[in-house]
Amino acid sequence: MKKILIVGQGIAGTVLAWTLQGTGQDVYVMDAPDHHTLSASQVAAGIINPVTGKRFAKSWMFETLFAHARACYLQLEAQLGVPIWQDLCIERMLQQPEELNNWSLRSHAPGFSDFIGDATPMAQWKKFAKSDHLFGRIQHAARVRFETLLPIFREKWLNGGRLIEQKFDYQDIEKFTLDFDLIIFCEGYRGNSHPLFQHLAWNITKGEAFHITLKTDQPLPTSEVLKKSVLIAPLQAGGYWVGSTNEWKYTDSLPSTAGRIWLEQNLGDMLATPYTVEAHLAAIRPTVKDRRPLIGLHSQFPKIGIFNGLGTKGALLAPYWAHHFVQHLLEGTALDPQVDIRRFSA
Ligand X SMILES: Cc1cc2nc3c(=O)[nH]c(=O)nc-3n(C[C@H](O)[C@H](O)[C@H](O)COP(=O)(O)OP(=O)(O)OC[C@H]3O[C@@H](n4cnc5c(N)ncnc54)[C@H](O)[C@@H]3O)c2cc1C
Q: Cβ of residue 105: shortest distance to ligand X, in angstroms?
A: 26
Q: What are phi and psi of 259, to 5 degrees?
A: -65, -45
Nearer to ligand X, 32 or 254 (CB): 32
DSSP-derived 3-state class of residue 319: helix
d(CA 280, CA 283): 11
Closest CA to 157 of 30, 23, 306, 41: 30
Q: What does DSSP assign to residue 172?
A: G
- Give bridge partners of residue 182 from the DSSP assignment: 4
Which residues here bind ligand X, judged by CB under 6 A? 7-13, 30-33, 39-41, 43-47, 167-168, 186-190, 207, 209, 243-244, 283, 285-286, 308, 310-316
Q: Cβ of residue 251: shortest distance to ligand X, in angstroms?
A: 16
Q: Which residues, 6 or more positions from 29, have their beta carbon under 8 angstroms from its beta carbon?
A: 5, 6, 7, 9, 13, 14, 17, 157, 162, 163, 164
Q: Cβ of residue 191: shortest distance to ligand X, in angstroms?
A: 7
Q: What are phi and psi of 321, to 5 degrees?
A: -75, -25
Q: Cβ of residue 23: shortest distance to ligand X, in angstroms?
A: 20
> How crowded is residue 260: how many other Cβ atoms within 10 Å of its Cβ?
16
Nearer to ligand X, 221 or 243 (CB): 243
Nearer to ligand X, 207 or 239 (CB): 207
Q: Cβ of residue 80: shortest distance to ligand X, in angstroms?
A: 18
Nearer to ligand X, 52 or 139 (CB): 52
Nearer to ligand X, 119 or 242 (CB): 242
Helices and strands in the chain, H and E counts: 8, 16
d(CA 229, CA 76): 32
Nearer to ligand X, 93 or 315 (CB): 315
Q: Cβ of residue 173: shortest distance to ligand X, in angstroms?
A: 11
Nearer to ligand X, 72 or 119 (CB): 72
Q: What does DSSP assign to residue 341?
A: G
Side chain identity at residue 73, one-letter code: Y
Q: Cβ of residue 313: shortest distance to ligand X, in angstroms?
A: 5
Q: Give the torsion through C-alpha atoms of 112, 113, 114, 120, to 10 deg.
A: 110
Q: Which residues, 6 or more positions from 67, have their beta carbon under 8 angstroms from its beta carbon?
A: none
Q: Which residues, 6 or more positions from 263, have their beta carbon under 8 angstroms from its beta carbon?
A: 208, 209, 210, 230, 242, 243, 244, 245, 280
DSSP-derived 3-state class of residue 7: strand
Nearer to ligand X, 102 or 244 (CB): 244
Q: Cβ of residue 175: shortest distance to ligand X, in angstroms?
A: 15
